[in-house]
Structure 1
Amino acid sequence: MTDADLAHLDAVSALRAFRALELSPVELLEALTAQVERVNGDRETGVNAFTETLFDEARAEAERAADAYVRAARAGEPTPPLLGIPVATKEKHPLAGRRIEQGLAAHAGRVADADHPVVERVRQAGGIVHARTTSPEFSCATVTHSPMWGITRNPWNLAATPGGSSGGSAAALAAGMTTLATASDIAGSTRVPAAFTGTVGYKAPYGRIPGLPPLSADWYRGDGPMARTVADTALLASVMAGRHPVDHTSWGPHGEPVPLPEDPVAALRGVRIGLSVRLGGFAVDPEVESSTLDVAKRLEDAGAVVVPVELPWTSGQVMRTIFAHFGQVLGPAVERESGGLHRLAPYTRRFVEDARRAAERDGLLDSLALDTAMQRELAIAMSGVDALLCPTNAVTSLAADSDYLDGIEIAGSHRDHYWEAHLTSPFNVANRCPVLSVPSGTASNGVPIGVQVVAHPHDERTVFAVGAAVEALVPRKPWPTLGAEQGTGSPT
């Protein structure tokens, strides 16, 4: 197996090879390190997925993991679930003794005094944190660039963004610079970049994966896994999930594997899947619509019952609902942490100003009423199906370096806010629903397209089963080879 093959090796296969002593954790880490040096590039023109790398520490851990596999093989003993697997962690997930800046000038030089719960659990499971990934300022954008860390670009088309806010994690996975990655999601920050990079991103039900207070109490948010396959994503989710003393909102068992069907396509027979291309009133690019309909037909041909689902939502209703919430929580948090709007990137200033105006219009009780109206409408729409299928993003790409202060054109119509380019935030309003973004095809500009699989509250089994079926049914292109021709179409 070449270094390039190892760089994109999935975690489940790597663990199997480790246990059989057919592959060493050191070999895998060295392949990833070589890939980083070959393809990551600089902060202006390269993929630029990392805020820092920890290769020396990671190599020492990989050597210890390799020894542990030899001992375990001799003794016939089990090994921890991620032993020797490299994991890139989003910079907002603190590592004790390392900087925790979140891209904010006001946080420059800050150092974390403890690991984030998801980092703690990755390490306890034997995972090796070898790099930390970029995000926009305070994770407040669906593009990934900042004055602090430069521009992060999509490996499939360097003119395009990998999405945000977990853009560095997504880019690192697509470019073969990590095996697994951590992410977070408050309006689509895991699913948006997963779709734009042909990777898999999971937004767990609220509280299923522990976060850090005080924002762990924000019922829109959640931390979670990203990977290149559904099985890898389920594996990392099981490691992260479960009750943790740091987060009072956390719940459920820790370390319990998410069951996946042995034959996910066969398991589709009779499953009722609702299809909504626009979630009511979203404008959607024709290529995205075509890709989503293709997935629905593949599911139907495999034995699922696909039925159209009507939602009464408008994009204006969705934007009012989420910004009423952000006006009460995230907007004030950014203002408090930033040291003044003059120190923020234009897209962050725009977010804070929009949130402030929303808070002046809608108070907390108004925000709760808006939330519960959308939740009820979704519950009614999904009452006759086991899962819902819809696009992840409404557009085929976003430009890597743009702020989108003047809105965006989608399918021939102008939208005032570029967040209307994503169909993700309704499921942060309905944040007890598990949602998985899985690849559904590739646009003409070379950038991947994704669909969301949405299940009923807390039904993780269904969301992963249907996601695994989509993965099995949709053909996948080879991973991008930087230096070869990538996408030539212009981003939106």
Structure 2
Amino acid sequence: MTNELFYMSATDALEHFEAKTLSPVEMLQSLIERIEQVNPEINALTDSYFDEALDKARMAEARYCGKGEAPRPLEGLPVAVKDAQRVKGKRTSHGSLVLMNNIDSCSDPMIERLEAAGAIVHTRTTTPEFCLSGVCNTKAWGNTLNPFNRSYSPGGSSGGSAAALAAGFTPLATGTDIGGSVRIPAASCGVIGFKPPHGRNPDGPPANFDRYNHCGPMTRSVSDAALMQNIVSGPHPRDHDSLREKITLPLSPSSIKDLRIAFSPDLGYRTIDRDVQLNTLNALETFRSLGATVREVDLGWSQRCDEAAMHWYNAMHYGRQTLWHARENASLMTDYALAAAEALNKTTMDDVARSWDIQHEMYQSFGAIMEDHDVFVCPTNAIPAVSAQLDTASEGLQINGLDVDPEWGWILTHQFNMLHYCPVISVPSGFASNGVPTAIQIVGKTFDDCSVFKAALAYENEIGGWFTAGKRKPEF
């Protein structure tokens, strides 16, 4: 076992499988040993299915050896699935004691497509209760820690997936993103997270009815994210919000000479940690060195964006399900889940209706700016990561000595859930002084996924990737 195998990309693993220089069984066995050794230190996983997964790996190995049907596009690749997405016949707890006996009768479309393509679900990853927090700390599964610095959180809500990737547990993972839940933890753990336009990736109910909601790939390389995205996107008969158009993303870098980048250091109203600022500026210099032009812009956004988003979350996601469960099971729930239920009681229908006015105003400025630019860049998070012990329901948070909202004041992600048809990828930008990664977001025009991936692939190629030979990895 070596770090090289733990951190092998999905695209490299497929090449080795095809060349018969690596067996899917060998890879999975190594990852299982890695999980058993390291996961007790970071607690990134919930249920695991190792015996069943090894059986599937043996069948994948047989396919590569010419026995039976030909290998499928993701044949034999392990994938870790967030414990908020359905897997047929398996438990999905949503990080809650209330749902510890919840067994799914069908898989969500994303998981269905991954398995149909030959990917092997070997484990599930932690999430805060009902995906409600940027910290993965639950009564059901305990606290998940950042592999790069265990004093910090991996972020949320897809924190277990990001931590599992960073720790070398899996080459592929899944996430869901309603307020940044793919990108926030991807940034804090130094991995890739993609939020597609709403409807690009079909989803299961009730999430597919919420335009803020997106399910997407989480990986250690941009090319792996594109590989995964090309499998899961496209219309699905069980999701009427799924887009009819099917696009194919590039898997390899190309020139971005003359790419036009709009840039905001803080969305006009966020306080940004100094390490994040510096690494963001360095990333922009990398784009300039590749021939891109970078221009700072003023979006005209303000705190009103956060307030509008919270009204929508309370009505569509946070408050409703927590309120329903709190009526009978409040003693089983976390403080932050109960706080979400209480927030719904303070939200009026007028608040929710008016939130759409703010979203409209946001796009009037953003859309106009993007007429003259190809992509938009900003930090993903305002700080590298929050403390693993942060209680967002009762504690404060400071950035550069200034008080910020502990729930929303440290992220720059939910604004692009409000602009739900804009694709966004989070890619690492460097490391902070505390050893935790930082990241930038690359945002595209509505439905322009290809430009986002083109920019990300070129950037990744120029700096040599993030979990490649010689690069900093978590120490265990």
Which amino acid counterpart does residue 167 of structure 1 have in structure 2?
G
Match of 2:384 among 380, 385, 396: 396
Deviation at 1:353, TM superposition (A): 2.8
Alignment correspondent of 1:55: 50
CA distance in 1, matches of 2:245, 2:77: 22
- Contact 1:195–1:448 (8 Å) recurs in 2: yes
Q: Mark the CA change 1:396 to 1:481 in structure 2 (over 3 Å): closer, same or farther.
A: closer
Q: Mark the CA change 1:410 to 1:156 in structure 2 (over 3 Å): closer, same or farther.
A: same
Alignment correspondent of 1:110: 102
Alignment correspondent of 1:365: 353
Alignment correspondent of 1:186: 178
Alignment correspondent of 2:26: 27
Match of 1:287 among 275, 284, 294: 275
Question: Deviations for 1:381-408, whole angstroms, at most 9, x for unmatched residues?
Answer: 3221100010000012211122132331
- Contact 1:162–1:197 (8 Å) recurs in 2: yes
Match of 1:318 among 305, 313, 328: 305
SS in 2 for 1:421: coil
| Larger mean Cα displacement after TM superposition, 457-466 or 398-407 | 398-407
Match of 2:165 among 163, 166, 173: 173
- Contact 1:323–1:355 (8 Å) recurs in 2: no
Match of 1:132 among 120, 124, 137: 124
Deviation at 1:380, TM superposition (A): 2.0
Match of 2:215 among 210, 213, 223: 223
Question: Deviations for 1:430-468, whole angstroms, at most 9, x for unmatched residues?
Answer: 010000000100000000001000000000100001111
SS in 2 for 1:93: coil
- Contact 1:241–1:252 (8 Å) recurs in 2: no
Count residues in correspondence.
469
Question: Deviations for 1:326-358, whole angstroms, at most 9, x for unmatched residues?
Answer: 12211213322444545421222233333442x
Deviation at 1:472, TM superposition (A): 2.1
Alignment correspondent of 1:490: none
SS in 1 for 2:231: helix
* Equivalences for residues 455-474 of structure 1 within 5 A: 455-474=444-463
Question: Deviations for 1:204-241, whole angstroms, at most 9, x for unmatched residues?
Answer: 00011111122311000111110000000111111111
SS in 2 for 1:242: coil
Alignment correspondent of 1:329: 316
* Equivalences for residues 251-266 of structure 1 within 5 A: 251-252=243-244, 257-260=248-251, 262-264=252-254
CA distance in 1, matches of 2:27, 2:172: 12
**Is there any run of 5+ residues in structure 1 with no aligned partner, and where?**
484-492
Which amino acid counterpart does residue 66 of structure 1 have in structure 2?
E
Alignment correspondent of 1:430: 419
CA distance in 2, matches of 1:257, 1:87: 21
Question: Deviations for 1:133-175, whole angstroms, at most 9, x for unmatched residues?
Answer: 0000000111111010001111100111111000000000000
Alignment correspondent of 1:408: 397
SS in 2 for 1:110: coil
Alignment correspondent of 2:257: 269
1:142 correspondence with 2:134: yes
Q: Mark the CA change 1:337 to 1:383 in structure 2 (over 3 Å): closer, same or farther.
A: farther
Alignment correspondent of 2:205: 213
CA distance in 2, matches of 1:326, 1:56: 39
1:85 correspondence with 2:80: no
Which amino acid counterpart does residue 209 of structure 1 have in structure 2?
N
Match of 1:478 among 467, 471, 476: 471
Alignment correspondent of 1:39: 38
- Contact 1:91–1:132 (8 Å) recurs in 2: yes
1:350 correspondence with 2:314: no
Match of 1:439 among 388, 413, 428: 428
CA distance in 2, matches of 1:281, 1:363: 22
SS in 2 for 1:111: coil
- Contact 2:322–2:340 (8 Å) recurs in 1: no
SS in 1 for 2:429: strand
Match of 2:234 among 239, 242, 253: 242
Match of 2:366 among 378, 381, 389: 378
* Equivalences for residues 54-73 of structure 1 within 5 A: 54-71=49-66
CA distance in 2, matches of 1:69, 1:365: 55
Q: Mark the CA change 1:293 to 1:356 in structure 2 (over 3 Å): closer, same or farther.
A: farther
CA distance in 2, matches of 1:280, 1:451: 16
CA distance in 2, matches of 1:342, 1:239: 41
Deviation at 1:361, TM superposition (A): 7.5
Question: Deviations for 1:189-215, whole angstroms, at most 9, x for unmatched residues?
Answer: 000000001100000000111111223
Deviation at 1:246, TM superposition (A): 1.4
SS in 2 for 1:236: helix
CA distance in 2, matches of 1:437, 1:318: 20
**Is there any run of 5+ residues in structure 2 with no aligned partner, and where?**
none
SS in 1 for 2:427: strand
SS in 1 for 2:216: strand
Question: Deviations for 1:102-141, whole angstroms, at most 9, x for unmatched residues?
Answer: 1222222111111111111111000000000000000011
SS in 2 for 1:63: helix
- Contact 2:253–2:454 (8 Å) recurs in 1: no
1:119 correspondence with 2:111: yes
Deviation at 1:273, TM superposition (A): 0.4
Which amino acid counterpart does residue 323 of structure 1 have in structure 2?
M
- Contact 2:187–2:384 (8 Å) recurs in 1: no
| Larger mean Cα displacement after TM superposition, 103-112 or 3-12 | 103-112
SS in 2 for 1:238: helix
- Contact 2:314–2:340 (8 Å) recurs in 1: no
Alignment correspondent of 1:487: none
Percent of residue pairs identical: 37
SS in 2 for 1:40: helix
Question: Deviations for 1:272-300, whole angstroms, at most 9, x for unmatched residues?
Answer: 00111101111111110111111111111
Deviation at 1:253, TM superposition (A): 5.0
Deviation at 1:78, TM superposition (A): 5.7
Give the TM-score of the pair, scaled to structure 1: 0.92
Which amino acid counterpart does residue 43 of structure 2 have in structure 1?
N
